[in-house]
Chains A and B, each alone.
Chain A
């Protein structure tokens, strides 16, 4: 309980002490115009393999941009676009995408129920909610993964598994994905892409 109180105190105090340097959502919106072509005008992607960013966690976005900029997350498309961003740009983009209403529409109207059930079991077994929270909308540097595109979730997990993409939280995702089979990854993606809070 003591822990919980500490966490709450941090949440309440932080915005006050940081008011002087708040990220600029409008500046982020301006910078994000170039992103819309692939990630969607409202931050919800309709392109295969490209993630939705609406409602994504501020810190997670910032970390990914820093990884792209430094080349630690190599990507032919993102690398050159991100290369010239300043730290302030990155903070503003994080705040902007976090401010957009998240996708709540499951990615597929007709999920494979057997695969979904398997995915649910694997997600529970691996305690994904410990960092990504029970709603799978993430927290701090842990990504929002609910109702993300399943083709992107498959790609992300495969990239973590092969360590071609760095993990925040030191090696948390590299570790989580390291033992997954292709079939398990497909099941997790199916479950998260069609996640509905009520059933949890």
Chain B
């Protein structure tokens, strides 16, 4: 398939794609020099295709439905989801375009960020009847949200905003207060996630504005930011695109998911689950991937042994995003302190994988890690989805809510004998 026509809903062009891939010549491969500030600030719209290879040629992110999938269609789709015995999944809310990170207000409002839709939503529940309101519009990729001491926090590309007394003001939140903006303006991999610790500081990921390369010094890192003072420390280095994390309730440590580089192959490198144990720890990017694959171009003499390996290799192109440690009592006792990870699923792979919820059982130290698929079935056919999970939050009753930015919906997974 030619680079000139890739990227529509993938299934439409599949037979042709497979046929023409075989005869593609190296001269047709897409290539960008991403090693300069002009590229970081103004990347071409197809910046993610700039390291195209013969093997992965023609792959591009699929386009989802134009509007959120109606609830009754979704409920029918959910019959395809496989869960362990005793669990069930249902539509909890729909009509939420590009729903991303979720956060609970203290009075039961669920706040929801979005990807390109520029919106933040509030889902309110009155006697079981749920209403979705768009409470903020026009923000630059407000994927991350958090709630603390009555205030809603929203992280867009280059600023962290605070909206006070948010639940009482859903219809007129105002412009908010910028509490942190020592952030680069790069949009590529610049969408973020917010995790609040016990002191009210946030862990915030900063991704590189390309697939692979020596990154600008302001990114490829995890920062720890105090929204009261606007001060920050860099706690993790060598991180590619992280859009999910959580605090281990057993230790207070920060764990995070990370999307590995594209355009190496279908099966490498693996995406990661990481654990920060000391300040300034380096996780390998761009020199080393998945703990044991030196980058073909950017290893630059480094050995993988210099860097912190992942706790768990989650698999290539599964795209792990939001994650949560389970602290509820609804699920069976063996789920306590397990990690649930929302995997958004592939685009740079000939047969998609991910598009599911993974369960990881691991000691607080990171030892004895086991992983298994918890919920799957959102991938339809070889390269299409009816939904793509991207975040997880625990509800007060111990059920899990899962956001889906493809279908524009939130699901509820519950357990009952």
- For the complex formed, measure the closest distance between the CB of B366 and the CB atoms of chain A, giving whole angstroms: 36
The reply on B8 being an interface residue by CB < 8 A is yes
* A130→B2 contact, CB < 8 A: yes
Among A10, A63, A163, A170, contact of B11 (Cβ-Cβ < 8 Å): A10
Given the contacts A171-B7, A175-B3, A3 and B382 also touching, CB distance less than 8 Å: yes
* A131→B8 contact, CB < 8 A: yes
The reply on B72 being an interface residue by CB < 8 A is yes
Given the contacts A18-B73, A90-B66, A130-B1, A178 and B44 also touching, CB distance less than 8 Å: yes
Report chain A residues within 8 Å CB of B380. Answer: 10
* B15→A3 contact, CB < 8 A: yes
* A7→B1 contact, CB < 8 A: no
Selecting from A73-81, A112-120, A139-147, A192-200, the interface stretch reads A139-147
Inter-chain contact total with CB atoms closer than 8 Å: 138
The reply on B49 being an interface residue by CB < 8 A is yes
Near B by CB (< 8 A), chain A positions 49-89 give: 59, 62-63, 65-66, 70, 87-88
The reply on A148 being an interface residue by CB < 8 A is no
* B9→A175 contact, CB < 8 A: no
Among B5, B20, B65, B384, contact of A176 (Cβ-Cβ < 8 Å): B5
* A21→B70 contact, CB < 8 A: yes
Report the nearest A residue to B14, measured CB to CB.
Answer: A3
Among B1, B45, B68, B72, contact of A20 (Cβ-Cβ < 8 Å): B72
The answer for the CA separation of A90 and B67 in the assembled complex, in Å, is 8
- For the complex formed, measure the closest distance between the CB of B234 and the CB atoms of chain A, giving whole angstroms: 31
Near A by CB (< 8 A), chain B positions 68-107 give: 68, 70, 72-73, 76-77, 95
* A62→B67 contact, CB < 8 A: yes
The answer for the CA separation of A43 and B32 in the assembled complex, in Å, is 41
The reply on A91 being an interface residue by CB < 8 A is yes
The answer for the CA separation of A55 and B5 in the assembled complex, in Å, is 22
* B63→A168 contact, CB < 8 A: yes
Among A7, A10, A125, A169, contact of B8 (Cβ-Cβ < 8 Å): A169
Report chain B residues within 8 Å CB of A139. Answer: 8-9, 12
The answer for the CA separation of A166 and B373 in the assembled complex, in Å, is 36
The reply on B135 being an interface residue by CB < 8 A is no
Q: CB-CB contacts of A150-169 with B at 8 A, as 1s and 0s? A: 00000000000001000111
* A66→B1 contact, CB < 8 A: no
* B18→A59 contact, CB < 8 A: no
The reply on B313 being an interface residue by CB < 8 A is no
The reply on B60 being an interface residue by CB < 8 A is yes
The reply on A127 being an interface residue by CB < 8 A is yes
The answer for the CA separation of A4 and B381 in the assembled complex, in Å, is 10
- For the complex formed, measure the closest distance between the CB of A65 and the CB atoms of chain B, giving whole angstroms: 7
Report the nearest B residue to A163, measured CB to CB.
Answer: B45
The answer for the CA separation of A20 and B68 in the assembled complex, in Å, is 15
Among A3, A87, A125, A175, contact of B95 (Cβ-Cβ < 8 Å): A87
The reply on A174 being an interface residue by CB < 8 A is yes
Report the nearest B residue to A179, measured CB to CB.
Answer: B4
Given the contacts A130-B13, A168-B8, A170-B46, A59 and B65 also touching, CB distance less than 8 Å: yes
The reply on B117 being an interface residue by CB < 8 A is yes
* A7→B6 contact, CB < 8 A: no
The reply on A172 being an interface residue by CB < 8 A is yes
The reply on A38 being an interface residue by CB < 8 A is no
Among B3, B6, B13, B72, contact of A21 (Cβ-Cβ < 8 Å): B72
- For the complex formed, measure the closest distance between the CB of B46 and the CB atoms of chain A, giving whole angstroms: 4
The reply on A6 being an interface residue by CB < 8 A is yes
* A130→B60 contact, CB < 8 A: no
The answer for the CA separation of A126 and B70 in the assembled complex, in Å, is 36
Given the contacts A3-B15, A172-B6, A9 and B381 also touching, CB distance less than 8 Å: yes
Which of A3, A20, A63, A142 lies at the interface centre, i.e. has the most chain B CB atoms within 10 A of its CB?
A: A3
Report chain B residues within 8 Å CB of A18. Answer: 73, 76
Report the nearest A residue to B384, measured CB to CB.
Answer: A10
The reply on B17 being an interface residue by CB < 8 A is yes
- For the complex formed, measure the closest distance between the CB of B332 and the CB atoms of chain A, giving whole angstroms: 31
- Nearest 10 CB-CB pairs, A to B? A172-B7, A62-B66, A171-B45, A127-B2, A169-B7, A6-B381, A169-B8, A171-B46, A126-B4, A87-B67
Chain B residues in the interface with A (C-beta under 8 A): 1-9, 11-18, 20, 44-46, 48-49, 60-63, 65-68, 70, 72-73, 76-77, 95, 117-118, 380-382, 384
Chain A residues in the interface with B (C-beta under 8 A): 2-4, 6-7, 9-10, 17-18, 20-21, 59, 62-63, 65-66, 70, 87-88, 90-91, 94, 125-131, 133, 139-142, 163, 167-172, 174-176, 178
Q: A66-B67, A175-B45 are in contact. List 6 more A-B contacts (CB 8 A).
A: A3-B14, A21-B72, A62-B65, A140-B9, A140-B12, A142-B12
